[in-house]
Amino acid sequence: MTSTYRLIENARLDGRNTFGVPARAPMLVEVSDAAALPELFGYALLRDGPLLVLGGGSNLLFAGDAEGAVLALGSQKISIIEDDGEHAIVRADAGVEWHALVLWTLGHGLAGLENLALIPGTVGAAPIQNIGAYGTEVRDCIHRVEAFERSSRELHRLDATACAFAYRDSLFKREPDRYVVTAVEFALSRTPTLKLDYAGLGDELAAMGIDIGSVRASQVAEAVIRIRQRKLPDPAVLGNAGSFFKNPILPAAQAETLQAAHPKLPVFRGNDDTTRKLSAAWLIDQCGWKGHRDGDAGVAASHALVLVNHGHATGMQILDLARRIAASVQERFGVALEPEPRVIGAQW
Ligand code: EPU
């Protein structure tokens, strides 16, 4: 029988994080089939010690080494598990590359994930920070999340409500030691309800010569890909983890006072009517950080929210730059920024 897992001691993680910073783990556990988890979590190393579940490594910053075991799920299956000809449930294993899933669903005539095209990372990581872009969050399409509970060694199926999703947040992010996400089920549709409101999306479709009245989901994905390729550096070329800071959410009154003082500040609706979301990119841009570089740690020239590694930056150098950016935004606007990626080996 072929083994469904592999253990690597003192493993290098440099190639497993999209910042491309150096880091190590005392033990890397590569698992190709989630069915191996109950057996693996019988061992004290995985059951009791610190654990980091690693997807594509596109939403974390190694400011130091991983403390305990690092688990990487490589399971790769995608299938349609229910289909009434109109609506379908697609199940994808945690190890599937996110963008490959988006293309697979569109290739099968299923809409819902088109605005989330080209986001780096894996399917298993998507619900953890409730990935979002161009007016869609992944929670809008999540039917259920399959997750292995460490303490009970049981597989649970959580519906979207149980996942407690919020902007770039979920139960899995708030309780990182509790579950390992093993697969996600998505509710998709053959008759799309397309979301075309996000600034720039309609213009991009128009520039592609596409009539908004008859646009297809695959064309929306194409427009999103074009915008992302223009604005966001490709992690394969320039190390980064997408947006480094979350857009801050403030009480509506505070946001309005700020906007009165800074009329150009982009302000969006928060989770409800009492809150507003501010553009962190704009705040950082105003403080003059766009394109800034300290050695190999820098801010992308194309987008103020993206921190980059120009080659040999360490995670600590990137974190140090991030702290100085946040301090300057705090000083000038009185707004606290919080990192979006998980910071390993240091406190924010
Ligand atoms: N802006 C600037 N300077 C810049 C870039 C943007 O002032 O350098 C201002 C512009 O006014 C623009 C506004 O910021 O209108 C918003 O910019 P953008 O549309 O790029 O969106 P964002 O709020 O910066 C968020 C997500 C991105 C997602 C885009 C598109 C967060 C933290 N980030 O960025 O997600 O792709 O919207 O929907 O919510 C990620 O999470 O890693 C990520 C890339």
pLDDT digits (tens, 9 = 90+) for 302-348: 999 999 999 999 999 999 999 999 999 999 999 999 999 999 999 99
- Tell me the backbone φ, ψ of residue 16, rounded to 5 degrees: -110, 15
Q: Are 72 and 16 in contact (CB under 8 A)?
A: yes
Residue 225: per-residue pLDDT? 98
Place of tokens 């403080």: 287
Fold observed for domain 78-231? 3.30.465
Single-letter residue type at 79: S
Place of tokens 């947040």: 169
Taking the CA of residue 231 as reference, the ligand 1 atom at the shortest distance is 20
Q: Does domain 5-73 have CATH number 3.10.25.10?
A: no
Going across the sheet that includes 239-243, the strands are: 239-243, 306-309, 297-299, 293-294
Q: Are 194 and 217 in contact (CB under 8 A)?
A: yes
Read off the DSSP letter of residue 231: H
Check whether 59 has a pLDDT greater than 90.
Answer: yes
Q: Is 243 annotated in the active site?
A: yes
Q: Is 293 annotated in the active site?
A: no
User: Is residue 282 lining ligand 1, measured as CB closer than 6 Å?
Assistant: yes
What CA–CA distance (Å, rounded) separates 231 from 2? 44
Residue of minimum CA distance from atom 9 in ligand 1: 282
**Mean pLDDT for the chain?**
96
Q: Is 326 exposed, middle or buried (0-12, 13-18, 19+ CB in 10 A)?
A: buried
Check whether 2 has a pLDDT greater than 70.
Answer: no
What CA–CA distance (Å, rounded) separates 222 from 242? 19
Read off the DSSP letter of residue 131: -
Check whether 282 has a pLDDT greater than 80.
Answer: yes
What percent of the chain lies above the pLDDT cut of 70?
Answer: 99
Residue 3: per-residue pLDDT? 79
What percent of the chain lies above the pLDDT cut of 90?
Answer: 95
What CA–CA distance (Å, rounded) separates 285 from 301? 10
Q: Of 182, 176, 178, which Cα lies nearest the Cα of 343? A: 176
User: Is residue 134 lining ligand 1, measured as CB closer than 6 Å?
Assistant: yes
- Please compute the mean of the pLDDT values over residues 215-220 and round it to a whole number: 98
pLDDT band at 153 (very low <50, low <70, confident <90, very high): very high
Q: Of 12, 90, 91, which Cα lies nearest the Cα of 54? A: 12
pLDDT band at 159 (very low <50, low <70, confident <90, very high): very high
3-state secondary structure of 110: coil
Sign of CA dihedral 231, 232, 234, 237: positive
Tokens linked to 339: 């990192």
Check whether 80 has a pLDDT greater than 50.
Answer: yes
pLDDT digits (tens, 9 = 90+) for 8-38: 999 999 999 999 999 999 999 999 999 999 9
Residue 272: per-residue pLDDT? 84
* pTM over the 0.85 mark: yes
Q: Are 190 and 110 in contact (CB under 8 A)?
A: yes
Tokens linked to 247: 């857009």
- List the domain boundaries for the chain: 5-73, 78-231, 239-344
CA 168 to chain centre: 8
Q: Is 239-344 the same fold as 5-73?
A: no
Q: Is 340 annotated in the active site?
A: yes
Catalytic residue among 91, 168, 170, 185: 168
User: Is residue 133 lining ligand 1, measured as CB closer than 6 Å?
Assistant: yes
What CA–CA distance (Å, rounded) separates 281 from 31? 37
Ligand 1 center from residue 129 Cα (angstroms): 16
Who contacts 67 (Cβ-Cβ below 8 Å, separation ≥6)? 26, 49, 50, 52, 345
CA contacts within 13 A on the Cβ side of 241 = 27
Residue 1: per-residue pLDDT? 46
Tokens linked to 246: 């979350």
- Please compute the mean of the pLDDT values over residues 235-251 and round it to a whole number: 97
Q: Are 93 and 73 in contact (CB under 8 A)?
A: yes
Give the CATH number of domain 239-344: 3.90.78.10
Q: Of 247, 250, 249, which Cα lies nearest the Cα of 284? A: 247
Check whether 181 has a pLDDT greater than 90.
Answer: yes
Helix orientation angle between 217-231 and 98-107, rounded to the nearest 10 degrees = 150
Q: Of 98, 93, 66, which Cα lies nearest the Cα of 4? A: 93
Residue 185: per-residue pLDDT? 98
Strand-pair partners of 293: 298
